[in-house]
Structure 1
Amino acid sequence: MSTRNSGNDLPVRPIDRILAFMSLGLLALAIVCFFAIMIGSATGMEHADFAGGVWPAVSATVYIAPILAFLMLMTVLISTFVRRARANRGG
């Protein structure tokens, strides 16, 4: 059980908020791209080529966006832990 008051909480920095929402946005984008690929494959797009147009970017987003979102979230967590440790030390 914590002995700290809720009034002593550290304020949320704008960069933390931006990174958190960007992480959420990238995850949502990856999910949308995943479903776009699933729907495109299921609707019988034999005439469409997945190697051309916007499809390579959509499929790359499915692989890259979750990794970037995870890294952003880890950045937020580590910076929060560092700030709390500095605040608890008094410096």
Structure 2
Amino acid sequence: MSTPSPRQDVPVRRIDRILAFMSLGLLALSVLSFFAIMIGSSTGADMRTGVWPVVGVLVYFAPIIAFLLLLAVLIMSFVRRARANRGQ
């Protein structure tokens, strides 16, 4: 049987919030870009000119970057929690 540890919540840092909201924002932007491409291609827009190439690139790279940001938040949280538990 393990010994009960005192439950003290580790405070959330500003960088954690920023990275989490950046991840959520990039994911939402990617979904909106996907729907914009679907609507634009169904209306017959020229996907080779204007802002469409940038929108197309966002669909590919934004979810990957969002996942990496979320992974960074999780790793930083685990490390901070381990350090807090080790200090007690």
Is TM > 0.5 for Structure 1 vs Structure 2? Answer: yes
Please state how far the C-alpha of 1:41 moved relative to its aligned partner.
1.2
**Does structure 1 residue 62 correspond to structure 2 residue 56?**
no
Unaligned runs of 5+ in 2: none
Aligned counterparts of 2:47 and 2:5: Cα–Cα separation in 1: 57
Identity of aligned residues (%): 67
1:12-57 Cα offsets, whole Å, 9 max, x none, are 00000000000000000000000000011112x1xx3211110000
Task: Write out aligned runs for 1:1-91 (5 A).
Answer: 3-5=5-7, 8-43=8-43, 45=44, 48-90=45-87
* One-letter amino acid of the counterpart of residue 55, structure 2: V
Please state how far the C-alpha of 1:87 moved relative to its aligned partner.
0.7
**What TM-score, normalized by structure 1, do the two folds share?**
0.87
* One-letter amino acid of the counterpart of residue 12, structure 2: V
Aligned counterparts of 1:24 and 1:32: Cα–Cα separation in 2: 12
Aligned counterparts of 2:55 and 2:5: Cα–Cα separation in 1: 48
RMSD: 1.5
Please state how far the C-alpha of 1:4 moved relative to its aligned partner.
3.6
Aligned counterparts of 1:3 and 1:32: Cα–Cα separation in 2: 45
